[in-house]
Amino acid sequence: GVSSGVGPMAGMGGRGGTMGGAGAVVMDPPPPRKRGHMDEMGSADGMSTRAQKSEVGAIMQRLDAMAAQQMQQLNQRMDAMEQRIEDRIGGLEQKVDGLTATVQAACHNSQARAFNSRGQGRANDPLRPLQAESGPKVGTAPPSTGSSRQRNHYGAQFPATVGEAQKLDSLQLAALSEFYNVPFPDYAAFAFFIGCA
């Protein structure tokens, strides 16, 4: 008989594709892949790592701030300590200067008293002025009555001779007492002080 020329594969089609005379095969695209458990774990790990980095960064910032504050406080304490040391050194220098002036005045007065004690107690025997060993005028002597120097603001003048010393009145003795920071209730106390008693 006569064959129709249609084989068993002829006309086969369907979802899987169609084979035609040209031999072309058409396939449907694969379905989208579902998100698996491993993908979810990877995403969670990434979020956890970012959170940890953020937390570490915050901790480092707090540590830096604490370190800066402690350094500032340390610097302030060091500055205060240096200032206290400088103040103490300044105070010690002033004390040393005062002691030096006192020692120098004492040395001068020792020589002045030796000079004044060599007199015979005559009215015209000269006297050498003493310096103040304490008080605001330490290291200085009042002007002598025999000099052209003006009286100081204490109004004190040192007698140039024994005769002038013997004639000192209470006001003059008070002025000398204030200058030397030593009480002179009478001439005898002053004479003893200057070395001609």
Tell me the pLDDT tens digit for each residue of 25-47: 666 666 666 555 555 555 666 67
Contacts of 178 (CB under 8 A, 6+ apart): 154, 156
- What is the structure's pLDDT at 146? 62
Which residue matches tokens 């200058």?
179
Q: Is 141 helix (H, G, I), strand (E, B) or coil?
A: coil
Both structure tokens of 51? 């959170």
Report the C-alpha gap between 65 and 46 in whole angstroms: 29
Q: What is the pLDDT of residues 124-146, one digit of tens each?
A: 999 999 999 988 889 999 988 76
Tell me the chain's radius of gyration from C-alpha atoms.
Answer: 56
The residue ranges of the chain whose pLDDT is under 70 are: 1-46, 146-154
Smallest CA-to-CA distance from 126 within 91, 152, 89, 163 is with 163
How many Å apart are CA 9 and CA 173, to the nearest integer? 152
Dist. CA 12–CA 94, nearest whole Å: 121
Q: Which residues contact 186 (CB under 8 A, 6 or more apart)?
A: 173
pLDDT on residue 18:
45
Q: Global pTM? A: 0.53
Q: Show Cβ contacts of residue 166 under 8 Å, excluding neighbours closer than 6 positions.
A: 123, 187
Sequence length of the chain is: 197
